Amino acid sequence: MKIQSTVAFLASALAAFARAQQVGTNQAEVHPVLQTQTCTKAGGCSTQNTKIVLDSNWRWLHQVGNYTACRDNSGNWDKSVCADGVSCAKNCAYEGVDYKASGITASGQTLSFELNKRLYLLEDDNNYKLFKLLNQEFSFDIDLSQAGCNSDAGIYFVEMDKTGGRSATNTAGATYGTGYCDAQCGEGAPFVNGAANLNANIGTCCTEMDILEGNSVSSSFTSHPCNKPGVHFCTTPQDCGDGNFHYQGTCDRDGFGINPWAMNNHTFYGPDASFTLDSSKPHTVVTQFITDDNTASGKLVEIKRFFVQNGKKIDHPNANWPGISPGTNSITDKSCAESKKVFNSVNDHAAKGGLATMGEALRRGLVLVFSSWTGQLDWLDGQIAGKDPNQPGGSMGPCPANGPVPTVAPVTFSNLRVGDFGTTTGLPSNPTPTPSTTKATTSAPTTKPTSAPTTAKPTTAPTTKTPTAKPTTAPTTAPTTAKPPATTSAPSSGTVGAYGQCGGSGYTGPTACIPGYTCHVYTQYYSQCIAN
């Protein structure tokens, strides 16, 4: 899907920065308030009225002055208004969002949303909130009880620009959810620095720290360092890490991550009380970023994970494969090296600077992202085709191959807190760097599923289209104990799934929604299936 850039196109793209994408006037952009907390040992927890904004790729992108889309549902630009990047930026506008109608609700400290969304946390209406996480812990509660096989609820940090790249060439900025980047260096962003990315061949790269990717049967956390700070725009296959140049790119696209199932622990995480952590019930996820001197100015040496459920602290399980040191249950450079060897994977994490490089990004500050998407996600929760499920890297979870893809899988995040160790959960915690002779962690697969790019071409209808995927997690072992919960089958060919388009001028698809949803008319140009 990625197209080689040429010198000629790069020149025209740079010239296109003369104008910015516009802002629509049909729907007011009112950001829902999602309260978050900052905690210290000295002062306890204070509450901030942070806000949520939907990514620009999920917005209605239409021609200025009318309701005609600038791109069709296949991502093809309308050349009558987008003959080049300059004219396209001048002629097209991002529209505001009706969050409630789009299945996104925030109340107090709780955020809930349905499938296929990407959201960011705002400090105020114009700027993303930057998190500086060295010598800090980040915690949140999550309910994944309705997210089964082939769904991925994500919460992660990326080194986006605080303003969303707002400038003279981008007037929308963070207010409209612009500026996304991640370690996959996806080339599908419709605009780059305010210029239309008409040939989808400018990628947006940045450091990515996946706090959680998972569902009710599988869960992982993954580090993806990049060897260039901030947002980097890649323009060649080598720089973006495309195809045969996978390990020559700016970022560690594979990442190094830990998945309990992948580490041969099949009874730890699952959707009933027989598992150590019962994912059918809400639980707290805590991630700690430990430095060598236990200060915010130190060097990152370990990323540690534990959980809390029913008031009880639950440590992450240790790796259970020969070749990985006993007691390994966190991300360190040593555990990465051991795991990559056991899983026969390229250690691109070390090549891109390892935890030291990740730590520098954490020092500069990262933006918080929420996402949800679906697909054939064997890299997250199933068996890897062509591999022995009883060997390292053969299975990611208990889900069957080619299982149904859910059309309904709501997820809820709540009680987001950042602060000193031990302050966000009320549990005592005073971590110190683990001795290098004992502590280690799990490994991630070296290749990502080609069917799930991180920034695939967005569509033109507002808030309803599928986000692009970002496989990042660690390989796993064969299913031995858990049975995956049933998932919802895809809608029939004559019905529209949750929050899909079901009408509007020029629309020729089905108009009936799946059970539990009604086709709601917004304007004569757009209707959407909304929950009853």
pLDDT for 432: 64
pLDDT for 501: 65
pTM of the model: 0.79
Would you say 151 and 374 are in contact if contact means Cβ atoms under 8 Å apart?
yes
Cβ burial 357-396 (10 Å sphere, 16+ → b, else e): bbbbbbbebbbbbbbbbbbbbbbbbbbbeeeebebbbbbb
pLDDT for 157: 99
pLDDT for 14: 30
- Computed on alpha carbons and rounded to an integer, the radius of gyration of the chain in Å comes to 22
- Residue identified by tokens 């996402």 is 371
CATH superfamily for domain 7-490: Glycoside hydrolase, family 7, domain (2.70.100.10)
Average pLDDT, consecutive stretches of 10 residues, N- to C-terminus, the chain (532 residues): 29 32 73 98 97 94 90 89 87 91 96 95 98 99 96 98 84 92 93 87 96 97 98 96 96 97 96 97 98 97 98 97 96 97 96 98 99 94 92 93 91 98 83 52 35 32 36 36 37 61 69 74 51 52
Angle at Cα 131 formed by Cα 146 and Cα 52, nearest 5°? 50
The residues assigned a catalytic role are 208, 213
Contacts of 107 (CB under 8 A, 6+ apart): none
Contacts of 341 (CB under 8 A, 6+ apart): 323, 347
Helix, strand, or coil here: 425? coil
pLDDT for 288: 99
Amino acid type, 130: L
pLDDT for 439: 36
Would you say 332 and 440 are in contact if contact means Cβ atoms under 8 Å apart?
yes
Contacts of 524 (CB under 8 A, 6+ apart): 67, 504, 505
pLDDT for 195: 83
Contacts of 485 (CB under 8 A, 6+ apart): 148, 149, 216, 217, 271
Torsion angle, alpha carbons of 241, 336, 132, 360, to 10: -60
pLDDT for 379: 94
